[in-house]
Amino acid sequence: MKTVLQYTLAFLIAFGLAILLLGGAGLLFVGAVVASASPEVPAGCILTVDFSMPVGERGGAPRPLDVFKREAPYPLPGYEIAAVLRHAATDARIKGVLLTGAVRGSPSALALARTALAELRAAKKPVLAYYGAPDERALWFGSAADELWMEPLAEVQFDGLALEIPYFGDALARYGVEVQVTRVGKYKSAVEPYLLGHMSAENREQLEAVLGDVEGALYGDIAAARAIELAQLRALARESGWLTPEQAIELGLVTRAAPYRELLARLRTITGVGADEEVPQVALRDYAADVWTNGSSRGRGVLVIVAAGEIVDGTSPHQIGGDDLARALRAARLDDSVAAVVLRVDSPGGSATASDVIRAEVLALREAQKQVIVSMGSMAASGGYWISAEADQIVAQPETLTGSIGVFGMLPNIQQLAESHGLRAEVVRTGPLAGIESFWCHKDAAQLARLQALVDRIYERFVALVAAGRHLAPERVQELAQGRVWSGRRALELGLVDELGDLTRAIALACERAHLPADAPVRYERDPSNALDEFLQQVVAERLQPLTRSLAEPLAPLAALEPLLARLRELVGRTGVVARLPFDFEVR
């Protein structure tokens, strides 16, 4: 009875929270301020921007119980942050902005916020940044501020960019996991980490080129903001690596090194409060809730649809479901208030079939005489480029990773590993090609040949659609393809994108091409948060903990490989053919 009551109570709470959280789902309109039940924004206050939670293109939603935890903020999407910062530039209640916490998340989403800071500075509202021990990313973001402060005993990490890709080939062989592959393109190295114990020369070549372009974009922004020579910054990273506060101040990278209490004194001066008074502040999320709009913009305008994550077949709450995105594009085509669509792509790619489902709706929008502008975020590669190639215009950021025109198929086999732990799967089939996607057996030559033919056909289609969309000869696309990844800057030189710029530029371009006024309504599609599902998942996970603990020791070897096998399962996809960025990486 107690368990029944507990589940009933949990369901009622989850249902109420779901209604509360789902109430704001739908389309979000930018341009007008409406009243809300958010915390009051005090007059003459500091807007505090803390990016300790990673900033992304889609943002995040609170977990069901997070609504009771004021200390657990959820990340806002980059475009919303930028819009809120621009609004603060004209809000008399805001006297200045404080950037603090970590600088984490998607570089493209952070770049939107960084660009918006210029409007605050232009409005003569001081922007201060306080990062205890800043690294390149903090220096890059903080360079847009009037003043960049740091702790006096900390050091500045300025040692260049590093990229790490784990290679599992030797470990998989040790545990008896075989990975068979089919692929097209000498640079299509997504399968490398699962086959080799080291990086190939081709992969190293493309990564060094891309990383150099990313560093150039990052350092270029810092150099422009701080009036420092780009060559000096590069030399600094190679020769010094770590800087004392005094060195950083002398170079102009940092404004001041002082304890936080001195920063508070500076903020009191800006807000005009006494030495014994608290600094009036409002957190970014609370300010967004206060000023954000609720559909009061009217008229024909631009719809921004965000496609962030891996492209998967069907529907997905956390990735780009091919059917989900196709449905959103189709709704935009049928909506008379939508004159143009900006598709914001931040994706490494994924399922080739799902990518083609999305591409078909992009073409249908164009046939309906609606402009489609692609705005590339941190990456729009492989399947991400597939869905972008036939837009009216493509706008990329200099550091965007794009291209990767290539496909592959992966066929993992865990038979040896499973049998060593007493597990075995028996297969009954009606034909020699049946069961090709099974994890439990080696694939013979006939099966591999069939999959290679499928990969070849999809690659030829990829090349053809890029040639048509970019008005390039197929032979030229073949030269640029081979699965190679390019930076946005190089993609512009090669004709794979039309211009460099951020989401704001893409929106302006959409207005121009659709013959809309510059102040036309801009709407952002937002996904509803499924609070009920998340809550029930939490409950089930807690109930299963005793069982999982009891099985942990006997199944430890399999459990150790579970994340890797899950990743392999994602890469295999529904058809076994994938158009995806040839690596997962984090630049540090």
Catalytic residues: 188, 382
Q: Nearest-CA neighbor of 113 among 127, 124, 125, 123?
A: 127
Beta bridge partners of 148: 129
* Residue 65 CA to its chain's centroid (Å): 25
CB hemisphere CA count around 378 (13 angstroms): 23
Tallying the residues shown for the chain, one arrives at: 588
At 112, list the tokens: 């939107």
Angle at 396 between CA 391 and CA 402, to 5 degrees: 85
In one-letter notation, the amino acid at residue 140 is: W
* Residue 272 CA to its chain's centroid (Å): 39
DSSP per residue, 562-577: HHHHHHHHHHHTTTS-
Residues 251 and 228: beta-carbon distance below 8 Å: yes
Q: Alpha-carbon distance 165 to 211, whole Å? A: 13
Sign of the dihedral through C-alpha 107, 108, 110, 115 = positive
Residues 45 and 273: beta-carbon distance below 8 Å: no
Q: Alpha-carbon distance 133 to 148, whole Å? A: 11
Q: Alpha-carbon distance 15 to 24, whole Å? A: 15
At 78, list the tokens: 């980059």
